[in-house]
Structure 1
Amino acid sequence: MSAGTHLKIGIIGAMHLECDFLRQQLKETTHKQYLDIKITLGSWSGHAVCLLESGIGKVNATLAAEWLAREFKPDLVINTGSAGGIKLGTHVGDFVFADKVCHHDVDVSPIGFEFGELPGLPVYYAVKDRWLKKLDQVATQLQDMHHIGTIATGESFIYRESQVAQIKQRFADVVACEMEAAAVAQVCYLHDIDFLILRNLSDVAGEEAQTSFNQYIEQAGRKSTELVLGLISQIN
């Protein structure tokens, strides 16, 4: 990537409160719709940006990522929004960045596969080191507290201690869980598109997670927007 290169950057967020502030910041915007997915085309810092508000869950995230791959053809896909912290020492308002993501609710182990593994696909989808380093650098400059590790995806809101314990037992170095990231990563892996997963913690998985999520989801969306736009601004 040479100096002055303008990229096409796709951004996927699940919920209105995770996307609305970012949508308002983009320049030269136009809007369209695919199924129930709200699409905003715009720009930031000289780069073409396409923001998709996908809806919650893996199927919605897959539809959004596939639309991006086919119609927008991005150089980089960023999946952003909120997550629940799992790692000891994470707090509401912290960021988590994936070095790899996995499906914590996939289990075909009775026929010889690992937890999280689908036949013909890896257990973990790895983020390219150069993008993770850039994200880490920008977050450090912005003085955003952040943690790097595995982000685990499943179709359930994780709030019981027993759920947390099981995920940590099955997958290494899990920092957070949520409901879309591995689906986005899997589509990007299959299309050979670079991706980043960054989430702000709206809750820390445990018995109080539901209350915390409802209180902090808007804050998580705003903080994620600031970091995403800061990152795009520093991509040459």
Structure 2
Amino acid sequence: MRKLLILLIPSFIFARILIQGAMPIEIDTLVNAMNDKKVVKIGSYIFYEGKIKGRDIVVSRTLIGLVNASAATTLGITYFKPDIIINQGTAGAIVEGLKLGDIVVGDRIYNANSYKTPKSLYTINPLAKEPMIAPLTLLDTNNEDLKNEYFTSDETLVNKFISLAPKGVLKVNIASADAFNKEILMLHLWNKTYNASVEEMESVAAAQVAKAFNVPFLAIRIVSDNLIEDIDYTPSIAIKLQELLIKIIDKF
């Protein structure tokens, strides 16, 4: 039995985790907590390889936006071969009730940039936008189109994070787009269209690439603003989420 345990345990202990953040404020606390740190730059994308509490960690600064997140995730997977990807950072709440510092995990993650509109020569009508799934298409194992209306966080990772995090973590839908949107009516539209509670600019792209490579994925966000309730943008709140990850990463 002892020999069997020796064979089985290493794959669990030494699982490598890729943790992503778009901005310095979203990764610096993690990077500063790393031991045996090595910096790897591939093109415009920086990765920090090392250990936190004995766990093999790669911290990736994806840069802001969906294209950057896609590129950084692809590079992170192909170069570092992670077993788990955690995309984390700040998000803006678009519903009442979410406060500064609340933590959410992405249940369904939508690309709010992916839409189609009816033909119109002289008018622009945001309410006419309908979600389009073509840009979200991947190939299945038989090379057939696998159409995705949305992407999801890995259920096991979601449940594990919620069990380790403080009480009050919510599972929500996330709307991702290349937009820092302060138009309240547009935020209401995203809530209505996707039943989304928060919006941000990276996680759907990372989730799509993770699914393409079959890597378990988890989106975690901390609320940095809520324009519906006139709570202004506070990017430094990102530090609290990183501190939480550092606290629980050895149990993940």
- TM (norm. structure 2) is 0.82
Matches within 5 A, 1:29-68: 29-68=37-76
Q: 1:168 aligns with which of 187, 191, 212?
A: 191
8 Å CA contact 1:158–1:164 kept in 2: the answer is yes
Matches within 5 A, 1:153-232: 153-172=176-195, 174-206=196-228, 208=230, 212-213=232-233, 216-218=234-236, 220-232=237-249
Q: Aligned residue for 1:125?
A: 151
Q: Tell me how far 1:103 sits from its aligned partner.
A: 0.3
Q: Aligned residue for 1:75?
A: 83
Q: Tell me how far 1:207 sits from its aligned partner.
A: 8.1
Q: 1:27 aligns with which of 15, 35, 47?
A: 35
- Alpha-carbon displacement from aligned partner over 1:53-105 (angstroms, at most 9, x marks no partner): 11110111111100011101111000011000123210011111111211012
Q: Tell me how far 1:231 sits from its aligned partner.
A: 3.4
The 2-side partners of 1:116 and 1:21 are apart by 37
The 2-side partners of 1:67 and 1:73 are apart by 9
8 Å CA contact 2:62–2:69 kept in 1: the answer is yes
8 Å CA contact 1:12–1:78 kept in 2: the answer is yes
- TM (norm. structure 1) is 0.88
Which runs of no fewer than 5 residues in structure 1 stay unpaired?
none
The 1-side partners of 2:9 and 2:22 are apart by 32
The 2-side partners of 1:109 and 1:194 are apart by 33
Secondary structure of the residue aligned to 1:81 is strand
The 2-side partners of 1:221 and 1:207 are apart by 20
Identity of aligned residues (%): 26
- Alpha-carbon displacement from aligned partner over 1:189-236 (angstroms, at most 9, x marks no partner): 111110110011111134846xx22xx211x2211112222332212x
- Alpha-carbon displacement from aligned partner over 1:32-65 (angstroms, at most 9, x marks no partner): 2122222110112332111111111011111110
Count of residues in Structure 1 that have an aligned counterpart in Structure 2: 224
8 Å CA contact 1:147–1:175 kept in 2: the answer is no
Q: Aligned residue for 1:135?
A: 161
The 2-side partners of 1:234 and 1:73 are apart by 20
The code of the aligned residue for 2:240 comes to K
Backbone CA RMSD of aligned residues: 2.1
